Chains A and B, each alone.
Chain A
Amino acid sequence: GAVVSQHPSWVICKSGTSVKIECRSLDFQATTMFWYRQFPKQSLMLMATSNEGSKATYEQGVEKDKFLINHASLTLSTLTVTSAHPEDSSFYICSAVGNQETQYFGPGTRLLVL
């Protein structure tokens, strides 16, 4: 149990296009999901907190108009990178809060912007 999926696992796009990443909790409901970003050989940095039915809360320095987050249901949160540029290339990981307040992480999405 407590599985979180992400789709796609890999995406390559051209500069200026938008990319949507989905995060799903497969066997539990999550009112709260988190989006993290990880650069190569570095740690995870929190980007935003996604709450079902309300606006996401963004960390300082994260552009909310560039990284659009929608948490439309208790099992799905989406992150859309708008007008992507090469510097947005990264590994994006989501997590969902499940039973006993434990966070379960998705497998990550690697984004490469050319």
Chain B
Amino acid sequence: AQSVTQLGSHVSVSEGALVLLRCNYSSSVPPYLFWYVQYPNQGLQLLLKYTTGATLVKGINGFEAEFKKSETSFHLTKPSAHMSDAAEYFCAVSDYGQAGTALIFGKGTTLSVSS
């Protein structure tokens, strides 16, 4: 069965600092991996996804993530944090290792950005 572990339930950074949100996965099939962002009382917005091909994936709002099979990781980074990045971030793997199937989510990481 697939699973996702997000290390650190809460990450705090200063505005302009590097953002690093960690995600490790477990999957018996080649994984499809996703990062979503959730603002308070809202649904989820897709930041980026990895299915096949290039392991460095660029997403919206300056975020990117790198799929590292040897480390079973898919960490999310952004070079310079902005106040508007403060939100809840979820890493997810698709069930059955296929896009378009149900997602298995990590527990989420709350990102706080201070001025």
Q: Interface range on chain B: under 10, 10 to 19, 20 to 34, or 35 or more? A: 20 to 34
Q: Which residues of B are found within 8 Å of A108, using beta-carbon distances?
A: 41-43
| Shortest beta-carbon distance from B64 to chain A in Å | 18
Interface flag for B107 (CB, 8 Å): yes
Closest to B90 in A: A43
Q: Is the CB of B45 within 8 A of A101?
A: no
| Shortest beta-carbon distance from A59 to chain B in Å | 8
Q: Is the CB of A97 within 8 A of B44?
A: no
Q: Is the CB of A42 within 8 A of B42?
A: no
Closest to A47 in B: B102
Contact (A107, B42) CB under 8 Å given A43-B107, A43-B108, A102-B49: yes
Contact of A101 among B36, B46, B90, B98 (CB under 8 A): B98
Q: Which residues of A are found within 8 Å of B100, using beta-carbon distances?
A: 32, 97, 101-103
- A29, B60: Cα distance in complex, Å: 24
Interface flag for B20 (CB, 8 Å): no
The winner among B42, B43, B98, B100 for most chain A CB atoms within 10 A is: B43
Q: Is the CB of B43 within 8 A of A107?
A: yes
Interface flag for B106 (CB, 8 Å): yes
Contact of A102 among B41, B95, B99, B107 (CB under 8 A): B99
Interface flag for B47 (CB, 8 Å): no
The winner among A34, A44, A105 for most chain B CB atoms within 10 A is: A44
Q: Which residues of B are found within 8 Å of A101, using beta-carbon distances?
A: 98-100
Q: Is the CB of B44 within 8 A of A49?
A: no
Interface residues, chain B, with chain A CB atoms under 8 Å away: 34, 36, 41-46, 49, 90, 95, 98-100, 102-108
Q: Can you identify 11 A-B contacts, CB atoms within 8 angstroms?
A: A6-B43, A46-B95, A93-B43, A97-B100, A102-B49, A103-B100, A103-B103, A106-B43, A108-B41, A108-B42, A110-B41
